[in-house]
Structure 1
Amino acid sequence: MEKYLTTEEVAQIARTVPSTVRYWRHRGTGPRGIKRGKRVLYAESAVAAWLAGKDDQAQAKA
């Protein structure tokens, strides 16, 4: 079964604040979230893939 993370947990992983994660989601540049009631949750695998993609982008620029 897939584990889901809160916005706060994703912010901790990305070493930023929750409002930045919400902004990324709004712009479509962050990990894809799903609405569950009033909360937005992120599949752990989607966050890992998003972070891996960010790492690939950073290496391509170097």
Structure 2
Amino acid sequence: MVIIGDKWNVYLELLGKDMSEGDALDELQLKRYCCRRMVLTHVDLIEKLLQYNPMERSKEKPQFS
């Protein structure tokens, strides 16, 4: 069984070294199309989602009494 959750950052590093997507996936030993699809179609949204954390927004707003 292949686990791909820990390969995202390595994949980005390989792309940063001007490696093609296919070669980067081969380097990560992701041969099956289902695993390759998971990496190729991933959208990294965590930074955007953190902006919408209601607890964080309440810290920034002044409290009125």
TM-score if structure 1 supplies the norm length? Answer: 0.28
Bigger strand share: 1
Tell which structure's C-alpha radius of gyration is larger: 2
TM-score (norm 2): 0.27
